[in-house]
Amino acid sequence: MMIHLLAGGPQDHHPDLRRYNSTGVVWAAADRGVYHLLQLGIQLAAAFGDFDSVTDQELSWMQKRSELQLLPREKDETDLEIALGWALAQKPAGIRIFGATGGRLDHSLANIQLLVRGLEQGVPITLADRQNELSLRQAGRHTIQRDDAFPYVSFLPFTGVVEGLTLEGFKYPLTAAAIRPGSTLCVSNELAAEKGTFSFESGILMVVRSRD
């Protein structure tokens, strides 16, 4: 089972969500993301939010079409973090989050940091929007497939220094490099073959696949 979550970020940053509505996918949403999915006719397994970003009329419309878990506006977690906690408890094979970027920068940065929750529980999480797919990786050796929809691949340190980064099968290969915060050495690489590998010895690596 794959769980897809739609957060309440700006709609113009969403990809075409209907492309991701395939067999075996369970949908959930947070805040205004609930409204967007219901407008597309996508059924929700869970819907969370304080719904401070919708009108009273929109809230009434949603309540007629889905069971909403209404959250208080003053709380210690964002609507998306609560929705992600539910998703992780389902023990899915993976989670993809949409609507988590664009708009307020503090929200975007906090949503990227939420991906650590997946590392802690062994569930891969990808944050996706119209131009990017972002994930976190722990030390080890990883295979990456070429994807013409997202031709550029960037590697950035997520926590401190990433030691021993080696890139094979890339246009710009690398051997046992230390990548420190503030370095742009590994921005905008490309795969030179159908697949490549990246490996590193320590740290947490942010992998961003993107297109213009």
- Which among 130, 157, 174 is the end of a domain? 130
- At 204 the pLDDT is 97
- CATH code of residue 196: 3.40.50.10240
Per-residue pLDDT of 136-153, as tens digits, reads 999 999 999 999 999 999
Q: Could you say which residues of the chain have pLDDT below 70? A: none
Is residue 11 domain-shared with residue 96, that is, in the same domain? yes
Is residue 114 domain-shared with residue 139, that is, in the same domain? no
Is residue 125 domain-shared with residue 161, that is, in the same domain? no
Q: Tell me the whole-structure pTM to 2 decimals.
A: 0.93
Is residue 60 domain-shared with residue 88, that is, in the same domain? yes
Domain count, the chain: 2
- At 19 the pLDDT is 87
- Which among 110, 130, 150 is the end of a domain? 130
Any alpha helices (H) in 97-141, and if so which ranges? 105-113, 116-121
Q: Are strands 125-128 and 132-145 parallel, antiparallel or unpaired?
A: antiparallel
What does the alpha-carbon distance between residue 126 and residue 22 come to, in Å, rounded to a whole number? 17
What does the alpha-carbon distance between residue 182 and residue 203 come to, in Å, rounded to a whole number? 15
Is residue 13 domain-shared with residue 26, that is, in the same domain? yes
Pick from 209, 212, 211: nearest CA to 96: 209
> What token pair was written down for 3?
């769980």
Show the domain range for 31.
2-130
